[in-house]
């Protein structure tokens, strides 16, 4: 089956470059969804569009057998591309808040879509080699943490036979050509918290008449740095980042409120809950210490579930990868990023595994590793400079989908 990959290489590379040059924000992926739906229909799949907004589901039925679901996410990011590639994105759009923003596929979702559509083309062209059903799921708004749940809420389970197994993959900042699995927790759960604290406004020359929310917010930020280092057991993974702090509009005005936005990550709900409890305790205590005139407001949003790979499914996929990719198949270990993919198999009640593929020029990565400068010289996901090399990234991503699927569907 994979012997047919060279024949479609030019088409797939052109498709990838086109997707890269035309990114779309979450829940705005109308062009990408249309391209995907057209390609799925071309190869005989039963296609459902507009699932949960812009989601697409294609079902390739090929006789009796197991059902395999493979997901690819479609959305881009509000990042201005700085790769210098001839097919770099120059697109802009208006986000949900009405703000004009640049657009870039800074997380490699264009690789995921192109790889899945390539795998569909290979599976559809060699149906004598397998039996069962392959489901291609193109998901919107992974970056907003709600694309998967919207597809589920839209009746996803009624559009496809119940899968026996579900897969997803992600291009990462590892050498292109490599593929990595990991049993158990693979991606962290995540939750963001918006904290609004209140002071009493005044003129900058009269601080004695104010309760300064800038000082209050600063004290909260400093105190939060002790949560992971002093409240989470050593050996447990936990991240607490204050990514945004907004207060004031002019140097000589003491404002009456400040807003903090926090991001929490862990590999267990218990650790996540421990951090949330500590955040609320610290915020309320600092407000009391500052004489805040109002209770603070805490709002959770952008919740990502834990991605924990089923051991049996992951072992089976890992064995198939080792057989096909040889030494290029490895264990990538736990990753600190987060995903909403697991919402789909959890809702359908099926086991799953999620793996990574490398996308960085192998020579660039090797040289940086030898110098000990990987973090400085190799752009990671969400960076303006993140640019997976076209090959062997696409070949690896496509082969990984086919190899994993055939571990369940091969006749």
Residues 6+ apart with CB under 8 A from 340: 142, 145, 146, 147, 148, 149, 304, 305
Q: Considering 73, 75, 110, 142, which one is annotated as catalytic?
A: 73
157 is catalytic: no
Dihedral sign, Cα of residue 389, residue 391, residue 394, residue 399: negative
**Do residues 262 and 223 make contact, with C-beta atoms less than 8 angstroms apart?**
no
Give the H or E element holding residue 347. Answer: helix 343-348
Give the H or E element holding residue 214. Answer: helix 213-231
Q: Considering 39, 75, 143, 255, which one is annotated as catalytic?
A: 143
ω into 152 cis (within 30 of 0): no
Q: What are phi and psi of 374, to 5 degrees?
A: -60, -45
What CA–CA distance (Å, rounded) separates 338 from 306? Answer: 7
Q: Which two tokens stand for residue 88?
A: 């770099």
Q: DSSP characters for 194-208? A: EEEEE-B-EETT-GG
218, HSE (Cβ side, Cα atoms, 13 Å): 5
363 is catalytic: no
Which residue from 351, 340, 408 is spatially nearest to 55, judged by alpha carbons? 340
Residues marked active site are found at: 73, 143
């Amino acid at each position: 089956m994979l012997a047919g990959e060279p024949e479609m290489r030019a088409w797939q590379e052109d498709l990838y470059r086109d997707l890269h040059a035309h990114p779309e924000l979450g829940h705005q992926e109308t062009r990408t969804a249309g391209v995907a739906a057209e390609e799925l229909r071309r190869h005989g799949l039963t296609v459902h569009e507009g699932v949960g907004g812009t989601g697409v589901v294609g079902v390739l039925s090929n006789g009796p057998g197991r059902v395999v679901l493979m997901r690819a996410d479609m959305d881009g990011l509000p990042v201005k591309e700085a790769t210098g590639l001839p097919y770099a994105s120059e697109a802009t759009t208006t986000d949900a808040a009405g703000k004009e923003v640049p657009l870039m596929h800074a997380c490699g979702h264009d690789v995921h879509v192109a790889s899945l559509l390539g795998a569909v083309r290979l599976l559809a062209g060699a149906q004598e080699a397998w039996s069962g059903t392959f489901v291609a799921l193109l998901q919107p708004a992974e970056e907003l943490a709600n694309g998967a749940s919207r597809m589920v809420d839209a009746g996803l389970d009624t559009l496809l036979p119940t899968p026996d197994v579900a897969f997803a993959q992600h291009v990462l900042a590892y050498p292109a050509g490599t593929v990595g699995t990991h049993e158990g927790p693979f991606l962290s759960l995540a939750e963001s918290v918006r904290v609004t604290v209140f002071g009493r406004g005044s003129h900058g020359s009269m601080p004695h008449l104010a309760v300064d929310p800038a000082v209050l917010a600063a004290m909260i930020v400093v105190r939060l740095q002790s949560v992971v280092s002093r409240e989470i057991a050593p050996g447990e993974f936990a991240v607490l980042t204050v990514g945004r702090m907004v207060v004031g509009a002019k140097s000589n005005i003491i404002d009456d409120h400040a807003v903090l936005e926090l991001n929490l990550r862990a590999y267990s709900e218990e650790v996540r809950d421990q951090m949330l409890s500590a955040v609320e305790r610290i915020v309320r205590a600092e407000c009391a210490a500052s004489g805040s005139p109002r209770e603070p407001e805490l709002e959770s949003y952008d919740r990502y579930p834990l991605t924990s790979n089923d051991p049996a499914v992951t072992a089976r996929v890992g064995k198939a990868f080792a057989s096909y990719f040889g030494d290029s198949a490895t264990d990538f270990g736990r990753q600190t990023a987060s995903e909403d993919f697991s919402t789909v198999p959890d809702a359908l009640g099926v086991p799953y595994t999620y793996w990574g593929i490398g996308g960085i020029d192998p020579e660039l990565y090797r040289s940086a590793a030898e110098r000990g400068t990987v973090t400085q010289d190799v752009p990671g996901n969400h960076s303006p400079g993140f640019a997976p090399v076209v090959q062997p990234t696409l070949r690896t991503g496509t082969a990984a989908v086919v190899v994993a699927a055939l571990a369940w569907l091969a006749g």
